[in-house]
Structures are given as C-alpha cells and as structure tokens.
C-alpha cells in the first residue's frame, strides 16, 4: 500500500516537473521570438522602404515615359496646327488680293481682263523683271498691259505657251506716256509727260512743262499717246516736285500705284494690244 502511494506521488512530481520544463521552454521561445523580431525590425523596415522606393521609382520612370510621349504628340499637333494656320493665312491673303482685283475690275469695266499669278521675280541686266503663269496658249499677246489692284504693273515683253515675262514700270527700259489729273483740268490742259525709272532716284515723271501745275498727291494715269498703253490706267501719284526757275521742264517723284515688290496675283488687260507705228518694225 505504501509502495503504491509512493509511486503515485513520484508520478505526480515527475508530471509537474515536466510541465514546468515545458512551460519554461515555451516562455524562452517567446523571448527568443521577441528578441529576433526586435533585431530584425530595422532590416524589415529598410526592406519595406527600399521596396516602396523601387516601386515609386519605377512608377516615376513610367510616368516620365508617358509624359515624354504625350509631349511628342502635343508638339506634333502644335506643328500641324501651325502649318494649318499658315495655310489659312496664305489662303486669306490670296482671297483678299482676289477681292481687290475684283474691285479693280468693277471700277474699270471699260476693259477685259485675264487673271494670272506671279511665279518668278528676277533681273535682266540688273533690271527688274516678272514672270507670270499665263502665255500665248492662254490668248495673251506681246505688249499687253499688266495691272494689279492698285494700277499699272508693266507690259508683257516676252511670251511662251504658258508663261510670260513682264517688264515692270520700275525697270529703266520701261517708258510710260502719262498725264496728271488736275482738278478742273481737261484733256488739253492736263500736264503730260513720261514716267521712267532711274536707279537711285526712283520712278520719275519727266518732260513736264515748267509752267504746268503739279501738286503732290495728284493722280498720274496713262495718256494713251504712242499707242503703247490704253488710256486711264493708274500709274501712281505725284510725290516731291523738282522745279528749276530756268529749266524748260520740271520733274516729280511718282509713288507707284501698283505693289511692284509684293504682287502675287495680277490681271492682264486683254482688249488692248499695241500696234506698231507705220514704218516701224516691232
């Protein structure tokens, strides 16, 4: 009986001892786990931060690439819109010029006109020349006058089937018989002369009688004398008058009616073709 009690108490003690050892082991493991987590915490934080930085950097790189692509698209769109704007401006300028030419035709219905475009500008022996895109195949003839919305540009002096060379009034080889429209004057009293270009001086009205009344701003028009041009084509307006008390003639600077340097669209006067004078070979 005593032996059985002893064995029971020994068993109880052994079970208790094993329980204490197990409990102590569990507590020690918990301490180790806490210590490990404490030691690894900086590394875990650093890894998380690095991971976030890598992800953010990749997102930034992707965003930069997308922005660059969008910028390229915007630049291409801006270039396209700028090109369209230039085309619209050019079309607007052409339309404005055509409207002005139509106004000229309506203001001078006594003539017939053929439209043409200026396709080249150049010089012949350092003298101004123009080339238009209409020629003999378009019913144009030598000697026909060319005008723009302001007035006389020049005269056709060379022809090809679909092009023509125009000698403008600011070429020294051009000479235009004119008269000056004086208020209250008549065909017999209006001053007359020749408009000719002189390098260094400009467009000059020459051979006007010294007593003729020349006033700045007066209109200068073709007189039709000599049969080179039809009458009443606008040539320009009187600018500065040069007069000498002892000279037989006076001169005046003429401001051209035509935009000789910038013409793009012109009209050819087709109902008047100069005829050679009797006994003169053209």
pLDDT at 4: 61
Nearest to 250 by CA among 221, 207, 220: 207
For residue 98, which of 270, 280, 267 has the smallest C-alpha distance?
Answer: 267
Which CATH architecture does the domain made up of 175-257 adopt? Beta Barrel (2.40)
Q: What is the pLDDT of residue 15?
A: 64
Would you say 268 and 140 are in contact if contact means Cβ atoms under 8 Å apart?
A: yes
Q: Mean pLDDT over residues 4-19, rounded?
A: 59
* Least-confidence region, from 27-36, 85-94, 234-243, 252-261: 27-36
Q: How far is CA 224 from CA 211, 220, 272, in A?
A: 22, 12, 11
Per-domain boundaries in the chain: 1-107, 175-257
| The pLDDT of residue 184 is above 60 | yes
pLDDT of 171 > 60? The answer is yes
* Of the candidate ranges 64-73, 174-183, 230-239, the one whose mean pLDDT is the lowest: 64-73
| HEC per residue, 185-213 | CCCCCCCEEEEEEECCCEEEEEEEECCCC
Q: How far is residue 200's CA from residue 113's CA, in Å, rounded to a whole number?
A: 33
pLDDT at 10: 53
List pLDDT tens digits, range 146-159: 999 999 999 999 99
Query: What's the pLDDT score for residue 28?
Result: 44
pLDDT for position 124 = 65
What is the pLDDT, as a whole number, of residue 282?
43
**pLDDT, tens digit, 9 for 90 and up, residues 78-136:** 877 777 776 666 556 567 788 888 899 899 999 999 999 999 998 766 778 999 999 99
Confidence of residue 242 (pLDDT cuts 50, 70, 90): confident
Q: Each residue of 28-72: pLDDT tens digit? A: 455 445 545 555 555 565 555 555 655 666 676 777 878 888 888
């Amino acid at each position: 009986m005593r032996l059985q009690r002893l064995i029971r108490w020994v068993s109880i003690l052994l079970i208790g001892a094993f329980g204490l050892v197990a409990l102590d082991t569990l507590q020690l493991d918990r301490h180790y786990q806490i210590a490990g987590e404490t030691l690894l915490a900086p590394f875990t934080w650093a890894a998380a931060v690095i991971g976030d930085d890598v992800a953010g950097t990749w997102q930034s790189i992707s965003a930069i690439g997308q922005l660059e692509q969008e910028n390229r698209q915007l630049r291409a769109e801006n270039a396209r819109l700028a090109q369209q704007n230039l085309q619209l401006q050019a079309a607007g300028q052409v339309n404005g010029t055509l409207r002005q030419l139509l106004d000229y035709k309506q203001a001078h219905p006594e003539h017939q006109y053929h439209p043409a475009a200026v396709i080249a500008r150049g010089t012949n022996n350092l003298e101004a020349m123009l080339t238009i895109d209409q020629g003999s195949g378009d019913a144009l003839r030598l000697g026909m006058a060319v005008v723009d919305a302001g007035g006389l540009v020049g005269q056709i002096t060379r022809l090809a089937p679909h092009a023509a060379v125009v000698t403008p009034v600011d070429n020294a080889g051009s000479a235009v018989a004119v008269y000056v429209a004086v208020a209250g004057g008549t065909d017999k009293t209006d001053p007359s002369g020749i408009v000719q270009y002189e390098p260094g001086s400009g467009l000059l009205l020459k051979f006007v009688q010294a007593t003729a009344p020349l006033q700045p701003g007066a209109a200068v028009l073709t007189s039709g004398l000599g049969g080179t041009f039809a009458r009443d084509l606008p040539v320009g307006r009187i600018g500065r008058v040069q007069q000498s008390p002892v000279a037989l003639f006076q001169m005046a600077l003429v401001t051209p009616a035509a935009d000789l340097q910038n013409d793009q669209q012109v009209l050819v006067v087709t109902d008047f073709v100069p005829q050679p004078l009797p006994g003169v070979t053209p």
